[in-house]
A = this chain, B = another copy of it.
């Protein structure tokens, strides 16, 4: 995989993309525009990387998605939704975008991000930052530290964010004073990461909230699912719809040149290249991820064909008046349905009254497929005068 990443890096470099390194504060302007790195971490905990993967940069807006996860974990979904929405705003990241309930449109625009930060329970701004730093470190699987020079510079030029915080506060949406929201926010944005950190952070979301390296359950599976939903609809600001259309992965970018993208259930990807396009996303990062998505079929709605049956074999046992179906692989709704229809047909043709479903070779089963199989068992008992027995040595049906 590392080799594939190296290939993509070379391909994308060759396209000679233009972009501007962020320079609204002098510290960001110092970034080396030539640096370029890609890393991925799988939910099994393996990491693949290529390029300048040791380079560190400030996490910037990427932090918004993870602080939102922390806020959900700390306050619960109801409280969080009372203070910030989950709707794409169709507007730029620094827009003054409040909905008819006076909530910032979503946590990934600045107004919503500052509100989200303010919801992290803490007595002071410093304590709030410390909690966020600790939480994001759990996502990354190592202790992250802020570049305090960057944070100070952001603070020095951060009046617009203060204004957004104050507007939110005037609507009763801020969980703290303005300073105790924006100062930890500036520092959260200044946390230093490298490309692999982003990959691990994404992998933690991909892995139901459990960090695949440390094994720590950082946030609940439900929260991981919610954050991925949010990144899908709002992650790339006013290009979110186009991103979902073309690339099809939940993602979040930062003005430091980083992008995190997630293949849910599989892996997280981190990309780093400082020059930004007009929308403020890493120019090379966007193209690299689009290329990876196309080449590797990563789009959410790119589903593999089903060339073979979920039924590995059938045994018709006269003596036991039983049909046995050996199932295999992942049993989703369609596989379960194939099983159900095949079973009915087999029982009917063979005149048997007992069905044994052997799940020994099944690798996974979706909720809805489990339900369909349960229905089948129940139907059999009542409506059809069969009996169905499930052999499930790995207790896969109840997992």
CA–CA, A162 and B166, complex, Å: 7
Assuming the contacts A163-B163, A363-B308, asked whether A334 and B267 have C-beta atoms less than 8 A apart, the reply is yes
CA–CA, A308 and B3, complex, Å: 29
8 interchain pairs, CB-CB under 8 A: A4-B375, A87-B239, A87-B240, A87-B242, A162-B166, A295-B367, A296-B371, A297-B367
Number of copies: 4
Whole-angstrom distance between the Cβ of A281 and the nearest chain B Cβ: 14
B366:A310 contact, CB within 8 angstroms = no
A363:B375 contact, CB within 8 angstroms = no
Contacts of A310 in B (CB 8 A): 363
Whether, in the assembled complex, A298 has its beta carbon less than 8 Å from a beta carbon of chain B, the answer is: yes
B90:A308 contact, CB within 8 angstroms = no
Whole-angstrom distance between the Cβ of A242 and the nearest chain B Cβ: 5
Q: Is the interface of A mostly helix, strand, loop or mixed?
A: mixed
Whole-angstrom distance between the Cβ of A321 and the nearest chain B Cβ: 27
Contacts of A4 in B (CB 8 A): 371, 375
CA–CA, A238 and B363, complex, Å: 39
**A89 and chain B: residue at smallest CB distance:** B90
B301:A229 contact, CB within 8 angstroms = yes
Contacts of A224 in B (CB 8 A): 301
**A294 and chain B: residue at smallest CB distance:** B367
**A205 and chain B: residue at smallest CB distance:** B301
For window 329-365 of chain A, which residues contact chain B by CB distance below 8 Å?
329-330, 332-335, 337-338, 341, 361-365
For window 201-226 of chain A, which residues contact chain B by CB distance below 8 Å?
208, 224-226
Contacts of A67 in B (CB 8 A): none
Whether, in the assembled complex, A86 has its beta carbon less than 8 Å from a beta carbon of chain B, the answer is: yes
**Among the listed B43, B159, B362, B396, which residue makes an inter-chain contact with A169, where contact means beta carbons less than 8 Å apart?**
B159
B170:A159 contact, CB within 8 angstroms = yes
